[in-house]
Amino acid sequence: MRMRKLGRTGIEVSAYCLGTMVFGKMGNPDHDDCVRMIHRALDAGINFVDTADVYGYSETEEIVGKALKGRRDEVVLATKFNGPMGESPGRSGSSRRWIVQAVEGSLRRLRTDYIDLYQIHHPDPHTDIEETLSALTDLVRAGKVRAIGSSNLPASEIVEAQWVSQQRGLHLLRTEQPTYSILNRGIEREVLPTCHRYGLGVLVWSPLAMGLLTGHYRKNAPRPAGARMQWVPRHLTDERKLDAVERLLTLAEEAGHSLTHLAMAFATSHPDVTAAIIGPRTMDQLDNLLAGATLTLGDDTLDKIDAIVPPGTDISPLDVSHTPLPLTRTDLRRRPPHERAAA
């Protein structure tokens, strides 16, 4: 397994990060099987594990904690906060009040006294970033967290967070976790250059475009029985994505690789990407991913990928990508009726 430095933290991590979102009720409900998969990944050289409190509403962190018993020091353990952990008010977001509660819950479920990388899961437009960074800084100083990071932040908010930390003497966000795949290359325009400028480690999620880049979803073909991504219908039926997949399948065959291995090698080939998060649901899926871990792509193949999906291009956003509030709330992009009438 190839190893890389996680930004400027000095922490060394594997180029594949084991994502655990589908361990538990969201994918594989067999806890013992999930534990065996985590052990298989560790034995194969993966030392980077990513989870979140909201995955399975705490179930997934419990599985990870069980799996890491006796092996905690082998692992760079990352988790996230911010997502809703129940219907009660205040059990989500990036406020100091919630962060100090959320971290204790994660530490308990993960059966550890420290988290290597604690990440803001989503932007929180309702909380001042200084409030969030101040609380996270206190966790680092208390020894409960080793490094802090973010996920799904636009470039402008990455810059703002860096500025606030520098001006207020707070700990810096050291990593960013955006979506990135052959089909979703938008972060190449601003997010990756910004991460490079500030020395942030980048761990990308969904390098297989939520299953489309496995080749199991084909144009004019029925969806595979039991497919776990039936809840993202627009993504799976987008004609532009399916057209690109057909061309990529041909390219992969000509290059002598599976589409899965081609897609993973693409994601880890970008010099500003530290690690790509894999999300296997079964042992067979994990073994298939591990089989391609050493693959590197030559310039000729990368040029052909660029011709199919140009650099910096999102064919269309993932159904589950973060969407800024002004794009979903009309009151944030339209003047009130009385102001429009007076204009």
Beta-bridged to residue 77, according to DSSP, are: 49
> Catalytic residue among 55, 118, 180, 217, which?
55
**34 Cβ neighbours under 8 A, 6+ residues apart:** 20, 23, 24, 28, 63, 67
Per-residue tokens: 100: 């100090």
pLDDT tens digit at each of 343 positions of the chain: 899 999 999 999 999 999 999 999 989 999 999 999 999 999 999 999 999 999 999 999 999 999 999 999 999 999 999 999 988 888 999 999 999 999 999 999 999 999 999 999 999 999 999 999 999 999 999 999 999 999 999 999 999 999 999 999 999 999 999 999 999 999 999 999 999 999 999 999 999 999 999 988 777 766 666 655 555 667 777 889 999 999 999 999 999 999 999 999 999 999 999 999 999 999 999 999 999 999 999 999 999 999 999 999 999 877 677 788 888 888 888 888 887 777 6
Gyration radius of the chain's alpha carbons: 20
Six token digits for residue 97: 């009040």
Which tokens in the block code for residue 171? 């700990």
Measured distance between the N- and C-terminal CA atoms of the chain, rounded to whole angstroms = 62
**Residue 60, SS3?**
helix
Q: 3-342 maps to which CATH number?
A: 3.20.20.100
Decide if 55 is catalytic: yes
- Its pTM stands at 0.92
Looking at the DSSP assignment, which residues form a beta bridge with residue 28?
Answer: 23
